[in-house]
């Protein structure tokens, strides 16, 4: 089966391409660096030729509110039009758990807009919503920095290893479209301030973590449902402590 992975050279895409190839599929790692551009449409029609499944894990080069919205809307429209012309039978897109719950966040608003275009396209689809990746925890912690303190919301977060996201994406891509949303999350939910302390401790960073219910997560005030998955979510296998220990050793 021919599968096109949009964003196939990135953190998630490159691992997904490897997984699918190991299962015997004909996989095209599509990105501007391989001659396929979902914004300019360069190489898009050729990439879709003969494809049965398209998995979109592309990320915007800029996270500024308007720029990220323009990216996901333009990219998705171009992809869906090319897929319709080629007779693609399953569109899979990676999105974010809780996107609609944090409208103050421009990136989340853009992902909701992307999801809505996919739902309206008429192409059979599956949306895989993931919680935040372990690999992004450092950036999340730093975003709460105020001087020498980390003033962070104590709301729950349920982060996940990127390899667990890839495993879920692999299964979704090879299954029938659900024409709906599937969630994947880490095995444990924990307060964000606790997550920050663990991360700083392992990295020998002595900054003080201060819980602050008003601290904003990329513009949004959080509650315990903002960044955690629903009860039917698929759970990853890798725990944060194990990932931290391995990444530090590495």
To the nearest whole number, what is the mean pLDDT of the chain?
A: 96
Residue 63: the pLDDT is 82
Tokens at 192, concatenated? 């964000």
- The answer to whether 163 and 243 are in contact (CB under 8 A) is no
Please report, for residues 65, 83, 189, 239, 244, the alpha-carbon distance to residue 136 in angstroms, rounded to integers and kept in the order given.
Answer: 19, 31, 16, 15, 12
Tell me the angle at which helices 65-86 and 106-120 cross, rounded to the nearest 10 degrees: 20
Give the start-end residues of each E strand in 186-250.
190-191, 208-211, 216-217, 220-221, 234-235
Residues 6 or more apart from 217 whose CB is under 8 A from it?
102, 105, 140, 143, 153, 155, 192, 226, 227
Round to whole Å and give the CA distance between 228 and 241: 18
- The answer to whether 129 and 183 are in contact (CB under 8 A) is yes
- The answer to whether 92 and 123 are in contact (CB under 8 A) is no
Nearest to 132 by CA among 219, 14, 18, 217: 217
Q: What is the pTM of this model?
A: 0.95
Q: What is the tens place of the pLDDT at every residue in 167-217?
A: 999 999 999 999 999 999 999 999 999 999 999 999 999 999 999 999 999
Tokens at 160, concatenated? 């996940």
Residue 250: the pLDDT is 61
The SS3 of residue 1 is coil
**In the chain, where are the structural domains located?**
2-249
Beta bridge partners of 185: 235
- Reduce the secondary structure of 121-176 to three states and give it as a string: CCCCEEEEEECCEHHHHHHHHHHCEECCEEEECCCEECCECHHHHHHHHHHHHHCC
Residue 146: the pLDDT is 94
Class of 2-249 per CATH?
alpha beta
What is the Cα Rg of the chain in Å? 18
Residues 6 or more apart from 73 whose CB is under 8 A from it?
110, 113, 114, 117
As to burial, measured by CB atoms within 10 angstroms (0-12 exposed, 13-18 middle, 19+ buried), residue 180 is: exposed
Residue 62: the pLDDT is 86
Low-confidence spans in the chain with pLDDT less than 70: 250
The SS3 of residue 209 is strand
């Amino acid at each position: 089966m021919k599968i096109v992975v949009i964003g196939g050279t990135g953190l998630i895409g490159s691992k997904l391409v490897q997984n699918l190839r190991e299962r015997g599929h004909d996989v095209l790692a599509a990105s501007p660096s391989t001659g396929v551009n979902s914004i300019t449409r360069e190489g898009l029609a050729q990439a879709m030729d003969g494809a049965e499944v398209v998995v979109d894990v592309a990320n915007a080069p800029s996270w500024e509110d308007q720029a990220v919205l323009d990216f996901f809307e333009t990219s998705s429209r171009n992809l869906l039009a090319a897929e319709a012309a080629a007779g693609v039978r399953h569109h899979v897109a990676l999105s974010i758990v809780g996107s609609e719950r944090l409208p103050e966040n421009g990136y989340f608003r853009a992902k909701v807009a992307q999801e809505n275009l996919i739902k309206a396209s008429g192409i059979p689809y599956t949306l895989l919503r993931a919680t935040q990746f372990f690999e992004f925890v450092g950036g999340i912690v730093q975003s709460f920095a105020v001087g020498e303190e980390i003033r962070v919301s104590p709301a729950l977060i349920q982060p996940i290893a990127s390899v667990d996201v890839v495993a879920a994406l692999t299964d979704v891509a090879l299954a029938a479209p659900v024409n709906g949303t599937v969630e994947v999350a880490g095995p444990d939910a924990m307060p964000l301030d606790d997550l920050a302390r663990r991360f700083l401790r392992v990295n020998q960073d002595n900054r003080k973590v201060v819980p602050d219910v008003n601290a904003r997560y990329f513009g949004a005030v959080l509650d315990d449902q903002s960044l955690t998955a629903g009860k039917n979510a698929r759970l990853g296998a890798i725990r944060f402590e194990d990932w931290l220990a391995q990444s530090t050793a590495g």
